[in-house]
Every structure is written in structure tokens, then in C-alpha cells.
Structure 1
Amino acid sequence: MSRAQCSRCMRPQTHCLCALIPQLDSRTRVLLLQHPSEVSHALNTARLAALGLTHAQLRVGEVFDDLDQLINQPGYQARLLFPGEDTQVLTAYELADKSLPLLLVVPDGTWRKVRKLLHLNPMLAQLPRVTLPQGAVSRYRLRKAPGPGALSTLEAIVQALEILEAPTSFAPLLRPFEALIEGQIEAMGAETYERNHGDKH
């Protein structure tokens, strides 16, 4: 028999995260394009981001037929948050800046799946790209990062917004993420966690 699930955060009702999910406003809009393989992932951080930001939208799929409409939103300039050639490092909005705020398009999936999304949605691949400064450290202690600076989708969004909209803090978005990780560590047991994920000196 399957456990009852919260329809909002998609966690078992006994481990519902909704009380920890904030409602944060932002000048930046966030469009999350999630590969279907991520939907059932235990940490589905893109969903947490979409729930915690009032100006965020989450779409799931491989091909987005209405992409033109999604990325050409009046009053915003679309940028793809993904490494690539001619990528600009994000910087803060200037107070006197009269240019349009960003629509931050964030693909969610493994590197391979994201590249597939870009291939299947050429309009996405053609967007100007932005990236985070080097040196970011992930709080995700349960999975070996594919390389230095590799972050979960939620962490990347928090860092991007904190750069763009400094000095505003978006740290409350990380509360349900931390609770998820702590819950998984607790479930596997401290000894198993230390053996598999503890610091290797």
C-alpha cells in the first residue's frame, strides 16, 4: 500500500515540506523547464523553487511547443542559466538601471538530459547564456558532484537571485532542501552516511 502523498510538495504526508516553503517575491522571473526523468527524483529541487517563488513557473517535458510564448514575456529579457560559449557571468541589477529585468530560463536535468532539451528546442539553445561565478559549493551532501561548482537546480537559482537582486536574501528557499537532505541522512543512518558520504581525509 502506497503512503499518502502531499499534492503540493509531492512528499509523503508524514514528511510534508509545505510549512518550510516560503513565498518570496523577486524582480526576476524564473522559468523552470524540467526533463520528465526528474519529476520522480527524491529531491526534485526545481519543484521546491517553483513553489517558493511567486514569480516562478515550472513546466515538464522534452519539447515545449509554446516556448516562444513562454520566453517572450513583455517587460522581461530572457537568459538561459547554463554554461556555454559566450556566457556572461551574472552581476547585480544596477539601481539606476532602466533595462528590463531578466526572465531566467533554468533547465532541470542531468547534463546529458539538458543538452537533449537544448537540441530538441532550438529556440532555447539560441538564448543568450548566463552563468554563476566560479567557486560555488553545493550543500547537497548525498550525491557526488560531477565537478567543482556543480549545484542543484534550487541552489543555482538561489545564488543567481542573490547576485541579481543583492542585498536581498533568498536563503529561505533552501530550508525545505536542507530538511530533505537531513531526512534522507536520518533514514539511511549516520553510520551508513559517514561510510558513503563522509569527508575523505
Structure 2
Amino acid sequence: MSRARCERCARPLSHCLCHLIPRLPSRSRVLILQHPDEVGHALNTARLAALGLENCELRVGERFAELALDPAYRSCLLFPGEAARTLPLPDDDPRPLQLVVPDGTWRKARKLLHLNPQLAALPRVCLPAGLQSRYRLRKAPAEGALATLEAIVAALELQEAPARFDALLRPFEALIEGQIAAMGEDTYRRNHQPGR
């Protein structure tokens, strides 16, 4: 028998995160394209971003044939690449930014680009080097490898400074703390603390 889940955040009712999820406005629009394999992931930070941002849409799939991008926004793909411009972008275009964000492992995100040439053709933007993830449970987190929610928060804070979006990270932090509590402090220290 499965545990009852919150219809909004999809967490078990005993671990509902809705009280931690803000509802923040942004000038930029965020369109998250989530690989289907991510939907059941324990963190599913893309869902947290979609719930916490007023100007955000989450679509799930591998092929996005109906990807009509609003010309009122300058659409950019948030994904590294040789031609990617580091955020923030200059104000040489009066339109607000639309960040198109693939959500999945690096391999799955690349597959989304391969299956959707319209995505791959978008101008790319990236985050500055040196950002560190708060997700302390990865065995060996690569530098700059952020959870989708972390990448969105960083991008918005760069592009819309001095506006702050770190309130979006509260449910993410609660998820991490919950995972650490479930595994026990000793197991966490043994397997995830640097230098061990």
C-alpha cells in the first residue's frame, strides 16, 4: 500500500513541503523541459521551481514538437557549450529573458537537445564557473554541476539582480536534511563528508 501524497508537491503527506515553497514573481520566464525519467526522482527540483515561480512552466517529455516560444521574450537555452554566453546578459535587448532549461542527467539533457533541434538551435547561456551545489549527498559532485533548481536560482539572481530568489531553495534544503536524517548522521559522515 503506497503512502498518501500531497497533490501539489507530490511528497508523502507526512513530509509535505508546500509550507516551504514560496510564490515568487520574476521578469524572466522559465520553461523547464523535464526528461520523463526525472518525474519520479526523490528530489525533483524542477517541480519545486515550477511551484515556486509565478512565471515558470514545466513540461515533461522527450520530444517537444509544440514548442512555441513567445517572441515577447528573448529565448535562451541554459546549457553549457562553446558559444554559451555567461549570465548576466547585457541590456542590448529590451525583451525579458526566457530561460529554457533541460532537466535530467547530463546524458538525458543532451538527448533532449538531440531529439529537439529547435532547442539545440537556441542561443546558449551559462552560469559563471566555480559555483558549488548545496546537494551534499552526491558522491563526487562536479564543480558547476548544480541541481536544476539551483541553476535556475543562480541564473535569475544574476540576470535580475538585485532581486533575490534563494527562498526557492528552502524546500530543497529540507529534502536534503530529510535524506541525511533518514540515513543517519554516522552513515552521512562516512559516505558523504569530504576527506573521508
Shorter-chain TM-score tier = over 0.9
How far the C-alpha of 1:7 sits from its partner, in A, is 0.9
Structure 2, unaligned runs of 5 or more? none
TM-score normalised by L of structure 2: 0.96
Percent identity, aligned pairs only? 68
Amino acid at match of 2:20: L
Distance in 1 (alpha carbons) for counterparts of 2:90 and 2:140: 30
Identify the residue that residue 38 of structure 1 maps to in structure 2.
Answer: 38
Aligned positions of 1:1-201 closer than 5 A: 1-67=1-67, 69=68, 72-91=69-88, 94=91, 99-200=94-195
TM-score, structure 1 as length reference: 0.94
**Offset at 1:149?**
1.2
2:98 match: secondary structure:
strand
**Against the structure 1 CA distance between its residues 93 and 164, is the aligned structure 2 distance closer, same or farther, given a 3 Å change threshold?**
farther
CA drift of 1:85 comes to 2.0
Separation in 1 of the partners of 2:55 and 2:140? 28
How far the C-alpha of 1:147 sits from its partner, in A, is 1.9
Q: Would the aligned equivalents of 1:31 and 1:105 in 2 still touch at CA under 8 Å?
A: yes
Structure 1 residue 125 displacement after superposition: 0.4
What amino acid is the match of 1:85?
E
CA spacing shift, 1:123–1:145, aligned 2, 3 Å = farther
Residue segments in structure 1 that go unaligned for 5+ positions in a row: none
* Residues 93/170 of structure 1: CA separation in 2 closer, same or farther (3 Å cut): farther
Structure 1 residue 29 displacement after superposition: 0.1
Contact 1:86 1:129 in 2 (8 A): yes
State whether residues 92 and 165 of structure 1, in contact with CA within 8 Å, keep that contact through their aligned partners in structure 2.
no
Q: Over the residues paired in the alignment, what is the CA RMSD in angstroms?
A: 1.3
Q: Secondary structure at the match of 1:127?
A: coil
Q: How has the CA–CA distance of structure 1 residues 136 and 26 changed in structure 2, closer, same or farther, with 3 Å as cutoff?
A: same
Count of aligned pairs: 196
How far is 1:143 from its partner? 1.1
More divergent stretch after superposition (118-127 vs 141-150)? 141-150
Q: Deviations over 1:136-161 (max 9, x none)?
A: 01000011355211100000000000
Deviation of 1:87 after TM superposition, in Å, equals: 0.7
Q: Is the 8 A contact 1:6 1:12 kept in 2?
A: yes
